Structure formats: C-alpha cells, structure tokens
Amino acid sequence: MIHLVWGTKNRTPFLSKEIKEKVIEHIKENAKTKGIYIDRINGHTEHLHVLIGLKASMSISKVMQLIKGESAYWINKVKLTKSKFEWADEYYAGSVSESILPIVRAYIDRQEEHHKKKTFQQEYDEFISASDSTRDH
C-alpha cells in the first residue's frame, strides 16, 4: 500500500467541502476505470491524501499522472473553481506496512479534525523529514 499526499499549486485553498467531495468522487471513479485501487481518500482545503494498492505493472509516477493530471483537467473542464485550478508539481509517496494500515486509514479519515491543529505545510515538512531519516538507515 502506498500513501500519497499532494497539494494545490501555491497552497491555494480551492477544496471547499463541496468541491473536495466532487473531486474525491471523480478521482474514485477515474481510478476505478484505470484499474487503480483506492483504499482511502480524503483531504483538506489545499491537499489530498490517498492510500492506494499499487499494482506491479504501475509506477507511482504513472498513478500520480493518472490521478493528479486527469483530475486537474476535469476540474477545469467542468469549471469547479472560478480561476484556473492546478495541483502542485511535488507530492509525497511512502509505502505503508501492513502493521500500521489501521493508523494510516484513521489518519486519512480524520483530515478535517487533524488540520485544526496542524497546517498542511507543517504536515508536509514532517513527511519529508521522516522519509529523509528512513533513507539514512
């Protein structure tokens, strides 16, 4: 399982509750047609978290292209936002061991509650810092 996190360009808070729900529903439908298994998906006003099952035939970068690229195209096509919508170029991707799947699922499910305490930038910096420290060992 892979935990993916990405934000909107310039951290613009495009994802109001209503827009976020539409984007999530669209991403789920699109992923299904592309053979991408989404276990969990949720986010906040300027980012999304997705827990996916990665097939051996697909790379993380390919999945991100199919999810991020296609969803940005769709958001603009149906004019969900008043101005042009873009996802940021960067993203976080980390593998999730079976033993912590319940923790990651609960974390993704509780995004609204979580972000009352911590900004996306703080969270993203912690993810990057944690992944850097695991590479050193």
Domain boundaries, the chain: 2-135
* Domain 2-135 architecture: 2-Layer Sandwich (3.30)
pLDDT for residue 111: 85
Q: Is residue 97 pLDDT above 60, yes or no? A: yes
CA-CA-CA-CA torsion sign (37, 126, 132, 9): positive
φ and ψ of 88, to 5 deg: -65, 155
Amino acid identity at 113 = E
End-to-end CA distance of the chain: 21
pLDDT one-digit tens code per residue, 62-86: 999 999 999 999 999 999 999 999 9
Strand, helix or coil for residue 90: strand
pTM for this predicted structure: 0.82
Neighbours of 69 (CB within 10 A): 11
Q: Are 109 and 31 in contact (CB under 8 A)?
A: no
pLDDT for residue 58: 93
Q: Is residue 95 pLDDT above 50, yes or no? A: yes
φ and ψ of 53, to 5 deg: -95, 120
pLDDT one-digit tens code per residue, 3-57: 999 999 999 999 999 999 999 999 999 999 999 999 999 999 999 999 999 999 9
Q: Are 40 and 105 in contact (CB under 8 A)?
A: yes
